[in-house]
Amino acid sequence: MPTAAPKRNTAKTSTQAGESSTSNGRHPDALREFFVQATRVQLATLTSLSKFVVGWAQSADRYAQAISDELLGGAADETAPRELVGRLAVVSSRHLREITGLPTEAVSHFNSELAKRAKRRQPARRRAA
């Protein structure tokens, strides 16, 4: 047995039409501000990520160089294996300290980028007001 579909009322009342026209004036500014903030966050994220990756690559390069120096130096000097292991442990420990500091540096960079961009934007708002 077929049932009748409910009819939609698409006509706006005069108060609804009036409300939407007044609030439309505010939406473009709010929408623009939203997209500007989203762009700020994305750029800060991108620069922080690149800073993290560069820091990791530099640390890995220093680590590889130090390991190479220790191994080649140990082979040339005929260093005792225990002493060589101790030196490698020191080099590895230094590398791990550097690596564990990278996330903190990236977060600090992210926060400073957001703060810097917000400071640049504030004088423009004062001029417009």
Domain ranges of the chain: 47-128
- Kindly report whether the global pTM for this prediction surpasses the value 0.75: no
Taking 3-state DSSP, the helix, strand and coil percentages for the chain, each rounded to the nearest 5, stand at: 85, 0, 15
79: CB partners within 8 A, 6+ apart:
73, 87
Tokens of 46: 């991108």
| Element spanning 110, H or E | helix 81-128
pLDDT category of residue 28 using cuts at 50, 70 and 90: confident
Residue 84 confidence (pLDDT) above 80? yes
65-83 tens-digit pLDDT: 999 998 888 777 777 888 8
pLDDT over 90 for what percent of the chain? Answer: 53
pLDDT value of position 22? 45
Contact 79, 73 (CB under 8 A): yes
